[in-house]
Amino acid sequence: MKPILFIIIFISITFITFAQNGSSSISGAKGAAMANTSTTFQDVFSITSNQAGIAFLENTSVGLLAEQRFLNTDIQQFGAVAGLPTRFGSFGLLIQTFGFEVYKEQKIGLAYARKLSKKFAIGVQFNYLNTRISEYGNFNAISFEGGLQAEIIENLWLGAAISNPFRIEIAPDEYLPTQFNIGLSYRFSNKVLIATEAQKDFEYPTSIRVGLDYHIIEPLSIRLGVGTEPIQNSFGIGIHLKQLTLDFAARYHQTLGFTPTFSMIYEFKKSDSKQK
């Protein structure tokens, strides 16, 4: 298959199934397992879905992600995130790559989030985007995204996020997608969390998603998710080891097959003297 024909087919599949450069990414393997119902998440991977979530970080955290799209070794995504909470708010960094030899996307994001009250936070992020297409050259752009989180009533959280609210060209006659996400999550107990989310890309139908996180025993969580537009099922597990969390997920697309995802988060605990 000629490279340019492969690129055209690949880009078509990408935009039908998962928005890429300039739009919200999966929020770690936890988000992938829960159909990406992640606008209310409050860990370091919130940088990829709703930056307001990093305002609730208690300790400096780093995360790594790897994904193999549709079990194809030529279509991979890698990412690294970091979150630094301070008394002035929380700062975040995102570095992400996606693609293969003749088509490559890179994204670098700098985020800032701050609590406006104990249960309400806002966040913003500026991104540098680079898209490289073999035989066509490099295309660069600057984009913006942000969001908010609030606890409506006890244990019920609302999250809302927008990506690329302004029309930004990343290649000739190609523009970054504008997306709006709004979601709710309710924690029934220390073991059960249910989340739901709607995502609207202004060029595609609204996607509705539901996810479940069940902390089955102390170190182990199991997760399930379903979504529409496109129809997808997802599942995964999380392993909690004190400062280290390991997450595994798989999403199933009815036409293109499985996408496995792995991520990890390491949290740097404060020393006793600093906590005091």
List Cα–Cα distances, 38 to 10, 133, 174, in angstroms: 26, 31, 27
CATH 1.10.230.10 fits 3-275, yes or no: no
Structural domain boundaries of the chain?
3-275
**Model pTM greater than 0.75?**
yes
Is pLDDT of 120 > 60?
yes
Report residue 133 as tokens. Answer: 């297409």
* 8 Å CB contact between 92 and 51: yes
How many other C-beta atoms can be found within 10 angstroms of the C-beta atom of residue 148? Answer: 21
Q: Tell me what the mean pLDDT of segment 209-221 comes to.
A: 94
For the chain, the average pLDDT equals: 86
Is pLDDT of 52 > 80?
yes
* Model pLDDT, residue 25: 66
Is pLDDT of 266 > 70?
yes
CA distance 235 to 82: 25
CA distance 236 to 174: 35
Is pLDDT of 2 > 70?
no
How many other C-beta atoms can be found within 10 angstroms of the C-beta atom of residue 81? Answer: 28
Three state DSSP letters for 225-263 = EEECCCCEEEEEEEEEECCEEEEEEEEEECCCEEEEEEE
